[in-house]
Amino acid sequence: MAESHSMIERNENERRSILEKHILGGVDIPCADGIIISSEVVIGAGTQILPGTIITGKTVIGSGCIIGPQSKVESSVIGDDCVLNSTQCENSTIGNRVKAGPFTHIRPGCVIADGVHVGNFVEIKNSAIGADTKISHLSYVGDSDVGSGVNIGCGCATANYDGTHKFRTTIGDKAFIGCDTCLVAPVKVGKGAYTAAGSVVTEDVPDGTMAIARSRQTIKRKVRKYNED
């Protein structure tokens, strides 16, 4: 027990020493609760690290960022003036002025350009996201190349896996992906193109056009309510 207690004390002392080093370098750590930072991590002055945040590997974080609360960054490069709120980011590169979270997962192999907004409950994997693109909520973007100024609506997904092979999706600059769109890779949505909400897109969408891939609504005769006699 004494040995275990001594090890815990050594680890805590080392953790505190690393935090103090960053504070002396201009990093704002208003409360140290639950914050773990590996010795190799580099953080720019003016960045704020909030409670419950874990930063590991050879991570480099720029200046003026807010990381946390409850975020995890592993072996990634984060630019200046970013906000990662309750976000997990692994082995990826993030540009400047990127906002992510809460509850965002950026999986390995992502390159996210300047000014991107990644909202709550969004997962991105092995994808390139162009500048000023918005993926606001409840969407999955995997194995995709997304242009700049794209808007991806709520509940969208790139269906990248057929059970045997993985394929990529390409979305051109300033495209608009309507809510609840499923893009079945391999597929390309052109520049300035639209997809209608609720579409399952299996064929390429040319530049400046709109794809509507859903059945026409029909109204059936009035049906009895389940609680009617």
- Domain spans of the chain, in order of start: 1-97, 146-224
The architecture CATH gives domain 1-97: 3 Solenoid (2.160)
- Would the CATH topology of 1-97 be identical to that of 146-224? yes
pLDDT tens for residues 78-134?
A: 999 999 999 999 999 999 999 999 999 999 999 999 999 999 999 999 999 999 999
- Cα dihedral sign for 169, 171, 172, 173? negative
| DSSP reduced 3-state for 216 | coil
pLDDT value for 12: 85
Who's near 93: CB < 8 A, 6+ residues apart?
Answer: 76, 77, 110, 111, 112
User: What average pLDDT does the segment 56-73 reach?
Assistant: 98
- Alpha-carbon distance 34 to 221, whole Å? 59
- Does 146-224 carry CATH code 3.40.50.720? no
Q: Which residues are catalytic?
A: 137
pLDDT value at 182 more than 80:
yes
Confidence of residue 3 (pLDDT cuts 50, 70, 90): low
pLDDT value at 192 more than 90:
yes
